[in-house]
Chains A and B, each alone.
Chain A
Amino acid sequence: MLIFPLKPQQASTFSVAWDHLFYFLTAITVFFSALIFAAIFIFAIKYRRRSKDEIPRQIEGNLKLELIWTIIPALLCVVMFVWASRLFIENSIPPAASTEVFVVAKQWMWKVQHPEGPREINDLHVPVGVPIKLTMTSEDVIHDFAVPAFRIKRDVVPGMYSTEWFEATSTGRFHLFCDQYCGMGHSHMVGWIDVMPQDEYARWLTSQMQAEPMAAAGQKLFNQLGCDSCHAQTGPKGPSLRGIVGQTIRMQNGQTRLVDDAFLREAIIDPQPIAGYPNVMPTFQGQVSEDQILQLIAYIKSLGGPPERKGTKP
């Protein structure tokens, strides 16, 4: 109990770059705090009141000093801003070759689906050295997927998909925390990221025999819910979904929309009329869970289409 760490584990590519920025900010903080503390101590001792009626010489101010201690901090702020913003932007774009994993948060657990089929709760198995892109949503309140060892964190918001990515650099088990207060069981919404060697991960995937790939589960749902009656092939009521992912389509209100995960989710929950088709699609809100929507999307994506655009829009 007496020994405690002073530094979090460093287990992702981003954590290295993040720590450099953190050390820089810490150095600035220590330097200026030391400067102010030293000045206070020296002035307080050197210029202590020596007699009751002492009146010191009055100094009005000094424009040159004011400019110096405005401009130097301002320049340092510019450096911090540029450094931190660049790092943030770089980190917000997952590499094109990322492996996708889907996360659905609910009070108070993390549900994970791998495209190959395995599902996990409060646990995420990933291979080391491979960029992993998480597509996340929530069934109820706002949660937050945070892995301190990877220095990543992103709110998981109901009604939308948020994404984050990481590439683990060492194997092991790392804490997954919910960082956005989500109600009574918030502090129990804790899980693990299991980073495995790549071959071991491949064995783990195949060992999950009971698992059905997400796309296959999605296809079943697609037929079960009757999606196929309008969308199996292009007909009067709706377009075929073959190859639709990644395309830009025109809505009846004149907007154009990119068909991506977020659009497909919206089209299932809250469909808006598409140009050239009648406004007949019903909403499936309440009939499909967030997990099932992700399976439907996985199936629609498996139907082919232009490769997904690099990254996702911010």
Chain B
Amino acid sequence: MSTATVEVPALPEVHYLNVNYGWRSWLFTTDHKRIAWLYLVSITFFFVVGGVAATLMRLNLIEPQGSLVEPATYNKLFTVHGLIMIFFFLAPAVPTVLGNFAIPIVIGARDVAFPKLNLLSWYLFIAGGGVFLYAVISGGVDTGWTFYTPLSTTYVNTNVLSAAMGIFISGFSSILTGLNFAVTIHKMRAPGMTWFRLPLFIWSMYAASLIFILAMPVIAITMVLIMLERIFHVGIFDPALGGDPILFQHLFWFFGHPEVYILILPSMGVISELVAAFSRRRVFGYSFVAFSSVAIAVISFLVWGHHMFVSGQSIYAGLVFSALSFAVAIPSAVKVFNWTATMYQGSVSYDAPMLYALGFIGLFTIGGLTGLFLASMAADIHLHDTYFVIAHFHYIMVGGAVMGYLGGLHYWWPKMTGRLYPETWARLSALIIFVGFNLTFGPQFILGYLGMPRRYAVYPPEFQALNVLSSAGASILAVGYVIPLIYMIWSLRYGPIAGPNPWGAKGLEWETSSPPPTHNFHETPIVTEEAYAYGARQEAHVA
């Protein structure tokens, strides 16, 4: 894999992983790279828990009457799956693992702006996750991840309070991480690293950080309001107490829709890095891709009402939200076109991270386009709350965000560990994930069009064939996720030494050793060129 160098690369003598040992050196570390590892281990654990819940759901849905669990248990499974995947896996995945590891190195800094705050974020995340797991183990929660009122405040008897408390606590972790990254990107860039020389990953992470800071307080407040109504019967949401159930939906989705862009924007940034590195090309239309991230972050705060077209919201509000939802689709489309154009006349390699990136572009395209159905007020009437919605957002969240995370993890893995993973296995698992994913969620578009409602533990028999197909696909998908888990652990000890720049990629992170020293660079780098400066610059080409 190594380029240009012929001699066998060796690990540096001292690097951030071997500089000191013992549990204290990890649990009290303020090194952003070690904190990234703390998160990697934690979110992998949560991914497994959420994945087990999903597996049980798919098993149950093989038969119309439910082959495995009672409806009450099924309801807990989808609630736990949704909450864990959203709050304890996807939201932290790219930012806290890849962002924590890469942002300071990519911008040429020694660490993030507030290293101790960074460690505190992880402890808050673990505290929130711990409280949430307590809620799961001590009986579970069955409100759905959306906590709709008055169901969640008055009617269910499960552990709503501890689940809400877990999310409340972990929300602070996200807020602090967003704050830390935003300040780091503002203040810690190496000399010469101007805003328009930043790799696009940084632009995306910056946009996502702003959403973290602005949206997470809203969900924290909403969780507090739920607890107030549940404990003290303060009439906020339950009409029987004088509250308004629709108010909850406004609050929840005012957080909830920016939240989905928190999940996808960081992965979009990763894809920009991957497509550039494995096409050896500057990202086509750099400034358009950069500003599209900012545009998405801004508009994402103004589209929440598209979750409420059939909920009793006024038609006029619906019209505005529908129009703005179409508006947020445009910058996403611009990104897809630019990524694709980056490959044009490039030097495209098929390394595993690139396969994930190509998978991302294809699946995100389908996910984005099917989002237009749901932004269309009339089309949403029939499709709302059906499997069509499930399929749509899994194409974005799994086909998009998870593929981006896995692609980025493979891309930076040699930098994080100093070692390469087995390339053939990696390509194979990328392919298995792509096929398994489409088999799992493709049929769900049809199920939704046929009218199968979401969150059904049992269903009419006419939906069985497509459900069996979906469950079969899920088993392939599961295999695709287990393989990387195995070979990546294997590579920690047995992987070939990577060398500083196994991909022949541009970027400050590839100029330091793999793994980097604790302070990333022996000398502060000075940036003199734009991002992705592959080859000599040429005049803008007009086709």
List A residues at the B interface (Cβ < 8 Å). 1-8, 18, 21-22, 25, 28-29, 32-33, 36-37, 39-40, 43-44, 47-50, 52-62, 64-66, 69-70, 73-74, 77-78, 80-81, 83-89, 91-92, 107, 140-142, 144, 146, 148-149, 151-155, 157-160, 162, 175, 177-188, 190, 314
Contact = CB atoms under 8 A, between A and B. Distances in A.
27 contacts: A4-B464, A7-B449, A8-B450, A18-B379, A29-B369, A33-B369, A43-B343, A44-B358, A49-B280, A53-B504, A59-B345, A59-B541, A60-B539, A77-B327, A77-B330, A80-B372, A83-B378, A84-B377, A84-B378, A88-B378, A89-B315, A140-B154, A148-B450, A153-B310, A157-B245, A160-B312, A187-B453
Interface in B224-247: 238-240, 244-246
A43 B346 contact: yes
B297 to A, nearest CB: 18
A74 to B, nearest CB: 6
Interface in B321-355: 322-323, 326-327, 329-330, 333-334, 336-338, 340-341, 343-350
B336 A66 contact: no
Nearest to B359: A40
Contacts of A314: 314-316
B486 interface: no
A188 to B, nearest CB: 7
B257 interface: no
Contacts of A29: 366, 369-370, 372-373
Interface in B271-299: 279-282, 284-288
Contacts of A21: 376, 378-379
Query: Chain B CB within 10 Å — which of A18, A59, A80 has the most?
Result: A59
Contacts of B280: 49, 54-56
A49 B349 CA distance: 5
A179 B384 contact: yes
B239 A59 contact: no
B528 interface: no
A186 B344 contact: no
Nearest to B341: A65
B535 A22 contact: no
B347 A55 contact: yes
Interface stretch (B86-94, B106-114, B142-150, B492-500): B142-150
A60 B378 CA distance: 41
Contact of A177 (B343, B446, B451, B541): B451
B4 A57 contact: no
- By CB atoms of chain A within 10 A, which of B382, B464, B539 has the most? B382
B481 interface: no
Nearest to B386: A179
Nearest to A90: B378
B274 to A, nearest CB: 13
B385 interface: yes
A70 B330 contact: yes
Contacts of B345: 47, 56-57, 59
B451 A175 contact: yes
B326 A81 contact: yes
Closest 5 pairs (CB-CB, A-B): A148-B451, A159-B239, A84-B376, A87-B378, A88-B377
Interface in B353-375: 358, 361-362, 365-366, 369-370, 372-373, 375
B378 A49 contact: no
B22 interface: no
A144 B541 contact: no
Interface stretch (B41-49, B403-411, B455-463): B455-463
B540 A57 contact: no
Given A6-B446, A29-B370, A55-B535, 10 more contacts: A36-B336, A40-B361, A44-B343, A69-B337, A81-B323, A84-B379, A85-B378, A92-B315, A151-B382, A158-B239
B286 A179 contact: no
Contact of A40 (B155, B312, B362, B453): B362
B462 A188 contact: no
A66 B535 CA distance: 24
Nearest to B66: A187
B473 interface: no
A32 B329 CA distance: 13
A77 B325 CA distance: 10
Contact of B286 (A61, A91, A141, A177): A61
B96 interface: no
A32 B337 CA distance: 10
B155 to A, nearest CB: 5
B144 A181 contact: yes
Contacts of A44: 343, 348, 350, 358
A60 B540 contact: yes
Interface of B: 3-4, 71-72, 75, 142, 144, 146, 148, 150-151, 154-156, 238-240, 244-246, 279-282, 284-288, 309-312, 314-316, 318-319, 322-323, 326-327, 329-330, 333-334, 336-338, 340-341, 343-350, 358, 361-362, 365-366, 369-370, 372-373, 375-382, 384-386, 446, 449-451, 453-460, 462-466, 468, 504, 534-543
Contact of B3 (A2, A37, A52, A142): A52
Contacts of B347: 47-50, 54-56
A144 B310 contact: yes
B392 to A, nearest CB: 11
A242 B166 CA distance: 56
Contacts of B310: 144, 153-155
A146 B3 contact: no
A155 B248 CA distance: 14
Contacts of A149: 451
Contacts of A37: 362, 365
B334 A184 contact: no
A185 B71 contact: yes
A60 B144 contact: no
A151 B349 contact: no
Given A18-B379, A32-B369, A58-B538, A81 B71 contact: no
A61 B285 contact: yes
A80 B365 contact: no
Nearest to B461: A1
Residue from B72, B151, B315, B459 whose CB has the most chain A CB atoms within 10 Å? B151
Given A37-B362, A151-B381, A73 B376 contact: no
A184 B330 contact: no
Nearest to B76: A184
Contact of B385 (A5, A22, A146): A146
B151 A141 contact: yes
A184 B315 CA distance: 31
Nearest to A54: B347
B281 A153 contact: no
A280 B358 CA distance: 70
A43 B333 contact: no
B315 A88 contact: yes
